[in-house]
């Protein structure tokens, strides 16, 4: 089966400019060579701490940020080489849901207008069919068609996120990238949106790329998970292997520090000390070695490659493979 999306050695480096001539004095290595693939109907999760490059990776896959190098192939076609017109056609198939439902909807547009814009741009659903389509979308995401006449400020955070989801669905996409779609929502609303996303995926056979820092949410939604650290992928595996048998020390520590809603639960395992290093001056060798509880002499010299640690399970660590 041809993967829907294939990302190979994707790099995004942001130049740091200084002085009156804006000379480039260095780079922020936001995404530093990641590889992933996504099959039709599958959900891939990207997890990591803030600043690990997960959002940048998502934006680069959509070509909303120009990648520095590497390739993003959608259904076998490399996005870097295509014309503007072809790219516009492809945006119909790839949509995004943003984190903040407050800043991602135009406050001066009604919900109807927000949902009709993508169809207008692509010249779809003309005439009376457009309003039908909007009403249908609103119903699908659990809102009333009459609410389409209202403005974003009249809705709660959860309802706004439903509008954001309806907008992403408007063009019948195959791939939806969710950039922390539930992390701005309250706990009781989070479950509603997670259930909605899972239901819509089954109904429309969508592929999801879910970017999140919440390991429990990612486990619940995703089939496969990629863990990122400082712009690199450190481990990728199916959800079952990753949560029951994590191989990389970073994944292990990450899983051990998630607070559990049980007062008798005691944290065990390795507690990470210190902060994530700056992506401007990443450490030598393995990026994780200054914080790693199991570092060896080789780790500061040589960066480990992603190696097979089990079936469908890759880890970038000298301890594995």
Partner 1 sequence: MNMKVKPNTNLLDVKGMKIHFHSSEGVAKAVDGISFHLDRGEVLGIVGESGCGKSVTAKSIMRLIPTPPGKIAAGQIIFDGTDLLKLSIQQMRRIRGNRIAMIFQEPMTSLNPVFTIGDQISEMFILHRGLRRKQALEQAVEMLAKVQIPEPCKRSREYPHQLSGGMRQRAMIAMALACDPQILIADEPTTALDVTIQAQIIDLMLQLKEDFHTSIIMITHDLGVIAEIAQTVAVMYAGKIVEQAPAVDLFDRASHPYTQGLLKSIPKLGRRAAKGRCDLSEIPGIVPSLYRLPQGCSFYPRCEKAHAVCNSLMPDLHSVSEHHRVRCWLYADKGKRKD
In which residue are the tokens 């803030």 written? 50
Under the binding rule (CB under 8 A), the answer on residue 257 touching partner 1 is: yes
Under the binding rule (CB under 8 A), the answer on residue 131 touching partner 1 is: no
Under the binding rule (CB under 8 A), the answer on residue 153 touching partner 1 is: no
**Cα separation, 88 vs 234, whole angstroms:** 33
Q: At 42, is the secondary structure helix, strand, or coil? A: coil
Q: Please name which of 277, 309, 284 lies closest in space to residue 298, comparing C-alpha atoms.
A: 284
Q: Which of 76, 107, 123, 263 binds partner 1 (CB under 8 A)?
A: 263
**Cα separation, 239 vs 236, whole angstroms:** 9
**Cα separation, 231 vs 144, whole angstroms:** 42
Least Cβ distance, residue 252 to partner 1 (angstroms): 12
Provide the CB-side half-sphere exposure for 61 (13 A, CA): 34
Under the binding rule (CB under 8 A), the answer on residue 53 touching partner 1 is: no
Pattern of binders to partner 1 over 22-51, x per CB under 8 A? ---------------------------xx-
Least Cβ distance, residue 116 to partner 1 (angstroms): 26
Under the binding rule (CB under 8 A), the answer on residue 156 touching partner 1 is: yes
Sequence-distant (6+) residues with CB within 8 A of 311 are none
Rounded to 10 degrees, the C-alpha dihedral 197/231/291/46 comes to: 10
Q: Please name which of 238, 220, 230, 114 lies closest in space to residue 166, comparing C-alpha atoms.
A: 114
Q: Which of 106, 195, 205, 284 binds partner 1 (CB under 8 A)?
A: 195
The number of residues making up the chain comes to 321
Q: Which of 78, 86, 139, 275 binds partner 1 (CB under 8 A)?
A: 275
Q: Which of 73, 109, 276, 303 binds partner 1 (CB under 8 A)?
A: 276
In which residue are the tokens 């990450």 written? 254
Under the binding rule (CB under 8 A), the answer on residue 264 touching partner 1 is: yes
Q: Which stretch binds partner 1 (CB under 8 A): 12-20, 90-98, 235-243, 301-309?
A: 235-243
Under the binding rule (CB under 8 A), the answer on residue 194 touching partner 1 is: yes
Binding site for partner 1 (CB under 8 A): 49-50, 156, 158-159, 186-192, 194-195, 213, 215-217, 219-220, 239-240, 242-244, 253-255, 257-265, 267, 271-273, 275-276
């Amino acid at each position: 089966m041809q993967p829907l999306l294939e990302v190979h050695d994707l790099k995004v480096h942001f130049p740091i400019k200084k002085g009156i001539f804006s000379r480039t004095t260095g780079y922020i290595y936001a995404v530093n060579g990641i590889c992933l693939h996504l099959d039709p109907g599958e959900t891939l999760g990207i997890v990591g701490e803030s600043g690990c490059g997960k959002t940048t990776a998502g934006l680069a896959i959509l070509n909303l940020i120009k990648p520095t190098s590497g390739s993003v192939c959608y259904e076998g076609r490399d996005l870097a080489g295509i014309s503007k017109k072809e790219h516009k056609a492809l945006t119909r198939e790839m949509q995004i849901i943003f984190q903040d439902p407050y800043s991602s909807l135009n406050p001066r547009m009604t919900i109807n207008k927000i949902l009709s814009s993508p169809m207008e741009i692509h010249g779809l659903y003309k005439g009376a069919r457009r309003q039908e389509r909007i009403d249908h979308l609103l119903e699908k995401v659990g809102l009333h068609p009459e609410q389409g006449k209202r403005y974003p400020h009249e809705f709660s955070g959860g309802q706004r996120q439903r509008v954001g989801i309806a907008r992403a669905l408007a063009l019948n996409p195959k791939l939806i990238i969710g950039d922390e779609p539930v992390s701005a929502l309250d706990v009781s609303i989070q479950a509603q949106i997670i259930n909605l996303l899972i239901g819509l995926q089954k109904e429309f056979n969508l592929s999801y790329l879910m970017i999140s820092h919440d390991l429990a949410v990612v486990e619940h939604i995703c089939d496969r998970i990629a863990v990122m650290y400082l712009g690199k992928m450190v481990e990728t595996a199916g959800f079952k292997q990753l949560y029951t048998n994590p191989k990389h020390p970073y994944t292990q520590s990450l899983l051990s520090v998630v607070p559990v809603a049980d007062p008798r639960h005691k944290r065990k395992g390795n507690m990470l000390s210190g902060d994530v290093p700056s992506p401007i001056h990443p450490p030598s060798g393995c990026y994780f070695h200054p914080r790693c509880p199991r570092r060896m002499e080789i780790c500061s010299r040589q960066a480990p490659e992603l190696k097979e640690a089990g079936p469908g399970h890759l880890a970038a660590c000298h301890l594995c493979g």
